[in-house]
Amino acid sequence: MTSPIRTERHGDVLVIVSNNPPVNALGAAVRQGLAAAIAEGAADPGVAAMVIRCDGRTFFAGADIKEFGTPPVEPSLPSVIDAIEASDKPVVAAIHGTALGGGCEVALGCHYRVAVRSAKIGTPEVKLGLLPGAGGTQRLPRIAGVKLALEMTAKGDPITAARALDAGLIDIIVGEDSLEADAIAFARDIAARRPLPRASQKTATADPDAVAAFRKDNARRFRGFDAPAATIACIEKASDGSSFAEGVAFERQQFLKLMGGTQSAAQRHLFFAERQAAKIDGIAPNIALRPIRHVGVIGAGTMGGGISMNFLSAGIPVTIVEMQQDALDRGTGVIRKNYEASVAKGRLKPEQVEAAMHLLTPTLDFSALADCDLVIEAVYENMDVKKEIFGRLDALSKSSAILASNTSYLDVDEIAASTGRPQDVVGMHFFSPANVMKLLEVVRGEKTAEDVLATVMALAKTIGKVAVVAGVTFGFIGNRMLRQRQTEAAKLLLEGASPEQIDKVHTDFGMPMGPFQMADLAGVDIGWHRDPTRIENIREALAAEGRWGQKTKAGFYDYDDTRKATPSPRVAAIIDEWRAKTATPQRTITDQEI
């Protein structure tokens, strides 16, 4: 079997190259090859320095997670990285694409690091319920400082090469098309420098108050998860005066504890499940996709506005259509307000907001949708209204257009039957708030064309969604599961529980929010029939009073300008009215029962 690692001599520089597509995962064969190549360079008196680089689209993008839970195969990644760092000849990491997880740790073990400007570096293990387990929590703070190490390891988001350069994580940025040549030249320049900069011999210092502030600032984000807490503890160990060996031993202990836990098992299962969901049964992976250059959205309400933001943020022009000018103005105003909130939080720059808004065309003219490649209907849940809209789209839209409904419950096949082109109709069910929630249900109708389905699934990735194909069934996937919880939660309200008690039980259990908090976030009016004369339950009573959730500062809770929730006396009164109206016997309901 050919090794995925090869060596190339460039004068006095040995270039060690990995070719393990698609992402140069650090599997056993790669580790074995790396260890052998480092030993080769160390033993050759003609080699003054070494460069590690990767073929393909990326540097090592992480460990081979298929090996998780299997018997270990030597050499281990920590031992390979230790050998790299222990080399008495300088080793330079030449980074392109992404250096993630174990790939980042390999780079940290090298004495120097160079990267192209488009490269990203990160330690996303926390998203699998783990932490960097090959010395990363000990080397990173020693090289780049505790503050950045906390951000990278406990949150798991990668950083740009420019930021890595500022932090001292990489030494220089090199040309996109000259990575190898520039890395070799750099290796020659530093070949004679001594002592070699080894992360294990550096020290890291931390401000205890800053670490405490980091914990506090991210308490909500980290709540219920073991990995962030363990990661922070490892970073603290790196900066509390402990030796490198003591820190690595502590890191290993924490890593193995997480690896054997149920949380990491669940998060790894989710990782593979999301990848599997992206595959479409029965459709060739190389099927030709329809070009999507311009998207139309019908409805500028909560869903329409959020859906539009996904495409605007991806640089895709959007035409949004409403029936009334005030609704159109209100919807576009909310889009801008949401973007400006991201600016206030430091997530966007003002010029990015203006660029996104420049791509938005609000109009009352339905015919403006004629040239759109994809039109998404996002009006309220009424079959007759949706069928009327799709009939108009059928007559108006170009023949190559995809016609999508954002319906959360209704029959996509019945909607498609209102057109003469059911093969072009598909469901695209975004979850509210659509610009935030990652899940997108792509509903495959009986006659939906294969290229339509494949195009929408690919487009979902472009706009940062996790897409899953659903069949035409009531509630599709997510809402069909949630329906039972919503039904039981509504019964508990009538029998004596409060929204805040029910929600607290959910959050104490580890869920991000409870059913009534979720309703307020998504919109109490979502799915409401909009007939104030036909009120059949507590939720409809709230919707009829305009208590539509966070967007109206009133739902199952009352909200202030910062969206802080407080129990609502008015909601308590409405619940009491419905208890009386339904003659529901009252009883004491414990948290355990909920």
Q: Which residues are catalytic?
A: 105, 125
Q: How does DSSP classify residue 554?
A: B
Residues 592 and 594: their CA atoms lie apart, in Å, by: 5
Rounded to the nearest 10°, the torsion over CA 269, 275, 276, 277 is 110
Q: Using CA of residue 322, residue 323, residue 327, residue 328, what is the dihedral sign?
A: positive
- For 50, phi then psi, to 5°, come to -130, 150
Start-to-end CA span in the chain (Å): 57
Are 198 and 88 in contact by the 8 Å Cβ rule? The answer is: no
Residue 433: is the preceding peptide bond cis (ω within 30°)?
yes
Residues 70 and 37: their CA atoms lie apart, in Å, by: 25
CB atoms within 10 A of CB 158: 17
Residues 396 and 399: their CA atoms lie apart, in Å, by: 9
Are 63 and 25 in contact by the 8 Å Cβ rule? The answer is: yes
Q: How does DSSP classify residue 497?
A: -
Pair of tokens at residue 209: 């108050």
Question: ∠257-260-262 over CA atoms, to 5°?
Answer: 110
DSSP 107-139: HHHSSEEEEETT-EEE-GGGGGT---TTTHHHH
Provide the greatest CA pair distance for the chain. 91
Residue with tokens 């190898």: 180
For residue 494, what are the CA distances in angstroms to 40, 316, 487, 498, 505? Answer: 74, 46, 11, 9, 17
Per DSSP, the three-state class of 513 is coil
Residues 18 and 5: their CA atoms lie apart, in Å, by: 5
Residue with tokens 């949630």: 482
Half-sphere exposure of 178 (CA within 13 A, CB side): 8
DSSP E strands in 11-111: the ranges are: 13-18, 49-54, 91-95, 98-100
